[in-house]
């Protein structure tokens, strides 16, 4: 039980992220017809990294980091094909949100006067 508790705590604490995690007790370690063994992981179609914790269940965590501090002239775009979030300019979503002479922001992510 000690190893299972350690594995679960590591799964639920992805380093450097604010990811949400979910646990389903007594869930089968099966996904899209494939069986998984204790400790095996897989990426679900909705970008969750899941780990088999049999016999106690399955733990899944989001793999994307959600940006929270960017200027109001930018927005976050989610790509479900790559499981990535990028911050782009609202006026032209094909361009990334970067500092420029036209748009400056301070360390808090707010535009400078």
Q: What is the pLDDT of residue 2?
A: 43
Q: What is the pLDDT of residue 45?
A: 85
Q: Does the pLDDT at position 98 exceed 60? A: yes
Percent pLDDT > 70 in the chain is 70
Helix (H) or strand (E) holding 49: strand 48-52
Is 68 found in the same domain as 44? no
Is 81 found in the same domain as 53? no
Rg (C-alpha) for the chain, rounded Å, is: 19
- Lowest-confidence pick of 12-16, 39-43, 44-48, 98-102: 12-16
Output the pTM of the full model. 0.56
Q: Residue 34 sits in a domain of what CATH number? A: 2.10.70.10
Q: Which domain, by its residues, includes 52?
A: 19-63
* Number of domains present in the structure of the chain: 2
- Lowest-confidence pick of 12-16, 28-32, 96-100: 12-16
Is 44 found in the same domain as 55? yes
Counting DSSP H helices and E strands in the chain, the numbers are 1, 8
Q: How far apart are CA 73 and CA 93, in angstroms?
A: 11
């Amino acid at each position: 039980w000690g190893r299972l508790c350690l594995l679960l705590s590591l799964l639920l604490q992805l380093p450097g992220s604010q990811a949400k995690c979910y646990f389903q007790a007594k869930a089968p370690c099966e996904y899209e017809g494939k069986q998984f063994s204790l400790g095996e992981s897989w990426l679900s179609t909705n970008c969750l990294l899941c780990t088999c914790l049999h016999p106690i269940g399955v733990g899944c965590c989001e793999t994307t980091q959600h940006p929270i501090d960017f200027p109001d002239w930018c927005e976050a775009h989610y790509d479900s094909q790559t499981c990535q979030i990028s911050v782009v300019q609202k006026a032209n979503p094909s361009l990334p949100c970067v500092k420029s002479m036209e748009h400056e922001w301070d360390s808090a992510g707010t535009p400078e006067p």
